[in-house]
Structure 1
C-alpha cells in the first residue's frame, strides 16, 4: 500500500457512465512510478457499473477514495474532489482517458518555485485505438513569466485552454483564493478555471512529454450544446480575463487581437439567442440583450463590425435599441 498520510498529489477523476474504460484509467494511476498520491473517484450518478468498479478499487487500495453524488455535472464532481483532496498538488484525469507510468514523475522533475503551473502535452487516440497522434500541441520545454508573457501565452498556446487535464495545480493556492469550477457553465468551464488560475501564478512551465492519453470518442460530451445561460456566463468570464490581459499589456497589437476576441464573443451570444429563439418570448430575448449590455459595458468600445450587417447590429446594441435588434436578428434566421 502507498503512504497516503500526506500525499504529494491528489488526482481527481469525475466518473459518469464510463464502466467500459474506467479500469484502464485507474490501473494507469496504480502503475505510476511516483508513489505519493491519492486518487479521488467522484461518481456523478452513473447508471452503469461505474460506481461498483470504483468501490472495488477503493476497497483494495487505501489511497483510492470513492465518493458518490446525484448527477450534478462534471464541474460539481471536480469541486467535490477539490474539497476532499489532501495532496500538495492537484491534477485531473478524465475517466475514459489514461496516463503513462511517468505522468506524475514528469511533473515532479519540472516543478518550479513559488506559485506556478506545469503543463504536459498529450497523445490523441481515436476510440478504435487505431490512430494515435503524438504530441498534439507540439510543446517545447518552455517557461512563461506572468503576467508579463500572458498575452504571448494566450496567443501561442490558445488550444490548451479548453481542458483541465495535463496540468498541475497548487492545492493551497486554489483553496486560498476559493477557486472552483463554475457549475453554471456547461461548456468552457475548464477554460474559465484555467484563466482564473493564471491570474494567481507567476510562472507556467511547458514540458514536451506527452504522457497523458486523451481518447476522442464519437459520442463525447464535447458535442453537447450549451444553453444561453451557460454561454452568457462563459463569455462574460472570458471578457473579464481579456480585460485583465489588456491592463497588463495595452499594446496596439493586443488591442487589435482582443478587439477580435470581444467581437467574436458578442457575435457568439447573438447566435445563441437566435438558436434558442423559439424557446423564449421576445420580451425574454430583449432582456438577454439588456443583460449582455450591462455585463459588457467595458467591452463596447472594442466592438468593430467587418460587414454592414454587423455594423448595424453593433450600432443598435450600443444605442440600446434592443427591440429593433431582436426583430433584425429573427428576420436573419428566416431569410438566411
Structure 2
C-alpha cells in the first residue's frame, strides 16, 4: 500500500505530489530526477520512474523503464507497456499533479484493500494529456512477507476490485493487442476466484458459486479465441479449469466441480 505518507512538492511548474510507503527508502537524488523534468520546458501531467524491489533475503530486482515523452494519442500503447512492466500498479514510482487530483476528486477507495494504487493511478490517467517516463530507478520498494499482498484473501471481494480495474483498463482497448492480453488474464482471474470457492479457501454460498460460474461463462463468450485463456496451477486445478472450459451448463459445472474436489 502507498497511503502511509505523501509528500507535496512545489517546483517551477506548479504543485506535484509523491507517495511513499513507510517501510521503503529512496536514494538521495530520487526527487532530483523528477525535478529535472518538472523544471524543464517539457509539460506533462504525470511522471513515471523505475524502481528497485528489495526481497526479504537480500536479493533485489531493478526495473528500468524506457524513457520517453508520450502524448494522449499514444496513451493506449503506453498503458500496455506500463502494465506489462509492472510499473503502473504502484503510486510511489510516480509524480502526480495535485491540481488534477483535487479538480477531479480522485481518491483512494477505502473499500479496496489490494491493488488500490493501480486503481488510483488509472483513475488519474483518465485526465492526463501527456506522460513523461524516466529511466532512473532510485526508489527501493521493500517486499514484506506480512504485507497485504501475501495475506489470505476473500476472492469474492478481490474479484470486485478486478471488475473496477477492468472498467478502467477497457478505456484503452482501442489497442487491440492489449485488449486481448488483458481480457484473457481477466478471465483466468475469474476462474481462479471460482476455484477457491470449491476448495474452501473462499467461503461462498451456492448462489455465489453459481453467480461466478455465470460470470465466467458470460465473459468467456465475449473472447475471440477461448483456447487462449491460460490457467497454470497444479494438476487438479487444471482439471477444474478444463471442465469449466468444455461445458456451458451452470448447474452441471457446479455439480462436476464439487464432485472433483471431494475426491481429491
TM-score (norm. length: structure 2): 0.75
Equivalenced residues, count: 247
Q: CA deviation at 1:228?
A: 2.8
The match for 1:313 among 211, 219, 244 is 244
Partner residue in 1 for 2:186: 262
Contact 1:88 1:170 in 2 (8 A): yes
8 Å contact from structure 1 (residues 140, 208) kept in 2: yes
Rounded Cα–Cα distance in structure 2 between residues aligned with 1:327 and 1:222: 32
> 2:95 aligned to 168, 184, 187, which one?
168
CA–CA separation in structure 1 for the residues paired with 2:243 and 2:145: 39
Could you tell me which of 3, 10, 14 is aligned with 2:4? 14
Where do 5+ consecutive residues of structure 2 fail to align? 231-238
Give the 5 Å matches for 1:192-231: 192-231=119-158
Q: Quick one: distance in 2 between partners of 1:170 and 1:199?
A: 13
Name segments (4+ residues, structure 1) moved above 6 Å. Answer: none
- Maintained 8 Å contact 2:49/2:64: no
Partner of 1:58: none
- Shift, 1:236, TM fit: 0.5
CA distance in 1, matches of 2:27, 2:101: 26
| 1-structure distance, mates of 2:131, 2:260 | 44
What SS does the corresponding residue of 1:88 show, helix, strand or coil? strand
Match of 1:140? 66
Residue 122 of structure 1, CA deviation? 1.6
Distance 2:83 2:201 in 1: 35
Larger radius of gyration between Structure 1 and Structure 2: 1
Tell me the alpha carbon deviations over residues 193-248 of structure 1, each in whole angstroms, 9 at most, x when there is no partner: 222222221222211212212222333332112213431222212321332112x3
Q: Which has the higher contact order (CA 8 A, sep 6+)?
A: 2
The aligned residue for residue 333 of structure 1 is 261
Deviation at 1:280, TM superposition (A): 2.6
- Tell me how far 1:125 sits from its aligned partner: 2.8
Does structure 1 conserve the Cα–Cα contact (< 8 Å) formed by 2:67 and 2:132?
yes
Distance 1:276 1:145 in 2: 47
CA distance in 1, matches of 2:96, 2:132: 11
Residue 147 and residue 328 in structure 1: after superposition, are their counterparts in 2 closer, same or farther (change >3 A)? farther
Aligned residue for 2:141, secondary structure, equals strand
Q: In 2, distance between residues paired with 1:215 and 1:255?
A: 32
Q: Which of 154, 160, 164 is the matching residue for 2:80?
A: 154
Q: 1:132 to 1:152 in 2, by over 3 A?
A: closer
Q: Which moved more, 1:184-193 or 1:276-285?
A: 276-285
CA contact (8 A) 1:274 1:333 kept: yes
SS in 2 for 1:225: coil
Residues 63-115 of structure 1: CA deviation (Å, up to 9, x unaligned): xxxxxxxxxxxxxxxxxxxxxxxx9222111001111222222212113425x
Contact 1:184-1:229 at 8 Å conserved across structures: no
Contact 2:17 2:98 in 1 (8 A): yes
CA-to-partner distance for each residue in 1:107-160, whole Å, 9 max, x for gaps?
12113425x2111212233446x5454xx1122322233352423442465211
Whether the 8 Å CA contact 2:198–2:257 is kept in 1: the answer is: yes
- TM-score, normalization: structure 1? 0.61
Question: CA offsets, 1:296-319, max 9 Å, x none?
Answer: 967741171459965752575xx6
Q: 1:329 to 1:174 in 2, by over 3 A?
A: farther
2:223 alignment partner in structure 1: 302
Counterpart-to-counterpart distance in 1, 2:3 and 2:20: 5
After superposition, the C-alpha distances for 1:17-64 in whole angstroms (9 at most, x for unaligned) are xxxxxxxxx9xx8xxxx9859xxxxxxxxxxxxxxxxxxxxxxxxxxx
1:94 to 4, 14, 21: 21
